[in-house]
Amino acid sequence: MTSRHRRLSLRPNRTLQRTCGGPARLQSARLVAAVAQFGLLGRMRIAIPLLLTFSVAFAFADEQRETNVWEPPSGLKQLPIWPGPVPDARPFSGPERLKTNTKDLVAGRPWLVVENVSQPTITVFPPKGKNTGAAAVVFPGGHYWILVMDLEGTEICDWLTSKGITAILLKYRVPAESKSRSGSYPNSAEALQDAQRALSLVRLHAAQWKIDPHKIGVIGFSAGGHLVAATSTLFDKRVYKAADAADKESCRPDFAIAVYPGHLMEKTSKDFELNPYLPVSGNAPPTLLIQAEDDPVAPIENSLVYFEALKKAGVPAEMHLFAHGGHAFGLRRTEQPITAWPQLAETWLQTIGMVSK
């Protein structure tokens, strides 16, 4: 059975392209929506999966518990992003903890999560081989409760560096004991504060880290995909008080990649409406969206509504939709065609001039 793949792109001339593969049956409950009402392509129909509670996906009843904190790969060092106390600090119920999820395997392998992150850091992964000058700050997902540090963190960095791109892994603050405050901005502003600060730090150290300051982007997954949208739309005003010279540098990303993004329709009163705390303007960076139609955690409308907003603002954007793939697959290869998305991203980065062809 072949998998259907839709490619939607919006260039500065505002043309919209679409390519489709063969038909496929969707296993999810089908809630048929005419994309015409979304301002996209004529009468193309999208299968919308049922929204599941994200906490179910992160049930760790059988996980192997660890007592140590997360550490970067050998030879790399975590760097604190704040010169003093973190802004808007609040108490945590315990120390940072690392866990291994051995229940919900991805491509037959477990994955690591960290919780109770109170001290945010960045870890710089230098490019391997030829340095393209491009860099990407990596935002792992985890519903703003935890961070998936390998599947959506170090493994992404390894892919980027293999393509000559400097990767900067951000371990941002994720509240644990105060669940009511966790979630997308402004519920817990800490994550966005850390993301804005990380982008400015990368620009400040661009020469030292051999990075082109005009080729610094972001890539994020699930909640990290929301953080991609937040940094792409809220860069005009920092959500914290300037701490030092780094905060004189721009915190606007030069490109943005959101993979199975979530939280993009929160805090709304309509079924198909963008989160009002993501004010898309024509200054948003070129954006790539990747998502599966049968995503049971973050409905595909998250990508659709954001793409529509980018389209209306005239922002160059490209969206790839796949019939199957689910959620939280990272870039681990399986039989699902969606797991080949890194090749699509590499081509897109060439197209927008971030890396050479």
**Sequence spans of domains, the chain:** 5-351
Which pLDDT belongs to residue 304? 97
Fold adopted by 5-351:
Rossmann fold (3.40.50)
Which pLDDT belongs to residue 90? 82
Residues of the chain with pLDDT under 50: 1-4, 9-67
The neighbouring-strand residues paired with 169 are 123, 138
Which pLDDT belongs to residue 54? 38
Using the CB atoms, write b or e for 297-308: b if 16+ within 10 Å. Answer: bbbbbbbbbbbb
Q: What is the DSSP string of 257-321?
A: EEES--STTTT-SSSS---TT----TTSPPEEEEEETT-SSS-THHHHHHHHHHHHHT--EEEEE
**Which tokens is 342 given?**
């890194």
Query: What is the phi/psi pair of residue 301, to 5°?
Result: -60, -25
Q: What is the pTM of this model?
A: 0.83
Which pLDDT belongs to residue 155? 98
Q: What's the number of CA atoms in the CB half-sphere (13 Å) around residue 83?
A: 8
Which pLDDT belongs to residue 10? 46
d(CA 123, CA 169): 5
Which pLDDT belongs to residue 331? 95
Q: What is the pLDDT of residues 42-67, one digit of tens each?
A: 333 333 333 333 333 344 434 444 44
Query: What is the phi/psi pair of residue 152, to 5°?
Result: -115, 20
Which pLDDT belongs to residue 269? 84
- Which value, to the nearest 10 degrees, does the dihedral of the CA atoms of residues 292, 110, 146, 219 take? -50
